[in-house]
Amino acid sequence: MKKVAITAVGVTKFNKSEKPLESMMLSSIRPIFENAKNLEQDDIDVVLTSTNANRNYLANIISELSGIKPKISHSVESLCNSGTNSLVSAYAYVSSGLADVALVVGADKADNPGLVLNWDTSRGEYRHPIFWSSMFTSAHMRKYGTTLEDLAYVSVKNHRNALDNPHAYFEKPFSIDDVMHSKRLTENLRLLDCSMPCDGAAAVVICSEEKAKKFTDMPIWISGIGQKTISASFTKNNDLTSMESTKSAVGDAYRMSNKVAGDIDVVELHDAFSICEIIELEDMGFCQNGQGSKLVRDLHDTNNKKVNPRGGLIGAGHPLGATGIAQVVEICQQLSGKAGKRQVDGAQTGLVHNMSAGSTSSTVLVLES
Amino acid sequence: MTRFEDELRNNNFVCSYCMKCQHFVWPTSEFCNKCLGDVTWKQVSKDAKLVEVSSKNGKYFCIAEFEGNIRVFGSLLGNHPRPDQNLILEKCSYDERPQFVFK
């Protein structure tokens, strides 16, 4: 397989607006052509769009609107990890030699239909994601003694990190007390433990090693990929204290990149709810099982931005089709030393974790400068 | 309207079952998810086991498991529920979504 690099990125402000999906996508594409050297529309031979918006022929429409006539163009949908799924598809086109340069763009509106998976009849009348989140939380609390305050630390840390992200949905800090006293949705889930569906778009250009030299002096290499789908039904998660698809995906990504958790300098992980960050830190080997809460408190107390420096989904917002790509944008900026106030000093290796539908599917990417 | 939904409306839980593979196919499907062969409908036992539980506004909701592999979300009546305890399907129904009530 050919080596594959990310050479340019773009992201919009995450908010709630009247802006059409196409305009949001073009807003994230524009800075790519403004900032990448020597990149012209004619260089792009793949355009992939990532969204849950049920839009016909969207990749072709975006191609026309951005002046691109690609060889390959189509949409990729996989609920919350649509973004990284589209990136993995683009990687396959480039690494196989079928294409040289791919533009991947994701976007969603706050009211997109991907927020609830109606197909999953096993959820019964409890179809909203807050109910699966509450089940993970109950199980983790029972097995490891995780507390509501532990969960609040995730939210406080990620909202604080988001203050240094100009594209984040939230622009104010929250205290432990604020989170603990936010609206109680279930016995173990408060409103501020949840990510916020919102509008947003993000885009990246990936290309072969030969092309990368033309477009940038600082390519970011995709050195590891892992993906796993265990089911579409949430109730097929056997152990509710961990995420089977995440453990499988991260294992493959570590093997492919020849890295281990200790090699990772900066992480964007899928904190759809506070409990997700705690479990994912454990499942991806950043701490032992049952120690996720302690790790989060340590990160909070030392103002360490290693995990979710842009604020994660909880602080930055969660426009489903854009989320995975926005996570990749953040890690690229970190590894390029261009993350501003969010910068993790000396970051050379980063990890993206993006999952769907109560972790029935997960994608993990390892990126290196 | 599927047989599954029809039966739920009549307070009866049936699930697709593969006679060849001898297992329930859940969520329900016209095809076995092991051999892709045809399925039939089979009555599901009312006996279940509590997998996990939480509550909203003082009312319990849970994941319960039937027949060793059919897991569903449902409402739970009673006090101080604990995982692994035995449950009985008290009622099931269908109103745009499946509804299960355990005790």
Q: Decide: A315 and A170 in contact? Cβ < 8 Å.
A: yes
**Confidence category of residue A37, pLDDT binned at 50, 70, 90:** confident
pLDDT in tens, A344-359: 999 999 999 999 999 9
pLDDT in tens, A305-344: 999 999 999 999 999 999 999 999 999 999 999 999 999 9
Instruction: Answer whether residue B39 shows pLDDT above 70.
Output: yes
Q: Which residues from chain B sit within 8 angstroms of residue A233, using beta carbons?
A: 26-27, 71
- pLDDT, average across residues A11-20: 97
Q: Which residues pair with A62 in a beta bridge?
A: none
**Confidence category of residue A243, pLDDT binned at 50, 70, 90:** very high
- pLDDT, average across residues A194-212: 97
Among all residues of chain A, which has the CA nearest to that of B56? A186
Q: What is the pLDDT of residue A183?
A: 98
- pLDDT, average across residues A194-218: 96
Q: What is the pLDDT of residue A271?
A: 98
User: For the domain bounded by A129-195+224-368, which CATH number is listed?
Assistant: 3.40.47.10
| Cβ distance of A122 and B83 shorter than 8 Å | no
Instruction: Answer whether residue A35 shows pLDDT above 70.
Output: yes
Instruction: Answer with the residue of higher pLDDT: A276 or B78.
Output: A276
User: Cβ of A231 under 8 Å from any chain B Cβ?
Assistant: no
- As annotated, the residues of chain A forming the CATH 3.40.47.10 domain(s) are 4-112+198-222, 129-195+224-368
Q: What is the pLDDT of residue B2?
A: 87
pLDDT in tens, B58-72: 999 999 999 999 999
- Determine the residue among A125, A132, A279 to mutate to test chain B binding: the one whose Cβ has the most chain B Cβ atoms within 10 Å: A125
Q: What is the pLDDT of residue A90?
A: 98
Q: Decide: A187 and A134 in contact? Cβ < 8 Å.
A: yes
Instruction: Answer whether residue A253 shows pLDDT above 80.
Output: yes
Q: What is the pLDDT of residue A356?
A: 97
User: Cβ of A137 under 8 Å from any chain B Cβ?
Assistant: yes
What is the average pLDDT value for chain A, to the nearest integer? 97
Calculate what percentage of chain B has a pLDDT beyond 70. 99
How far does A51 lie from chain B, in Å, by closest CA? 26
Classify domain A4-112+198-222 by CATH architecture. 3-Layer(aba) Sandwich (3.40)
pLDDT in tens, A41-52: 999 999 999 999
Q: Which helix (H) or strand (E) holds B66?
A: strand B59-66
**Confidence category of residue B1, pLDDT binned at 50, 70, 90:** low
| Cβ distance of A139 and B61 shorter than 8 Å | no
User: Cβ of A148 under 8 Å from any chain B Cβ?
Assistant: no
| Cβ distance of B73 and A188 shorter than 8 Å | no
Residue A44 φ then ψ, to 5°: -85, 120
Q: Domains along chain B?
A: 3-102 (2.40.50)
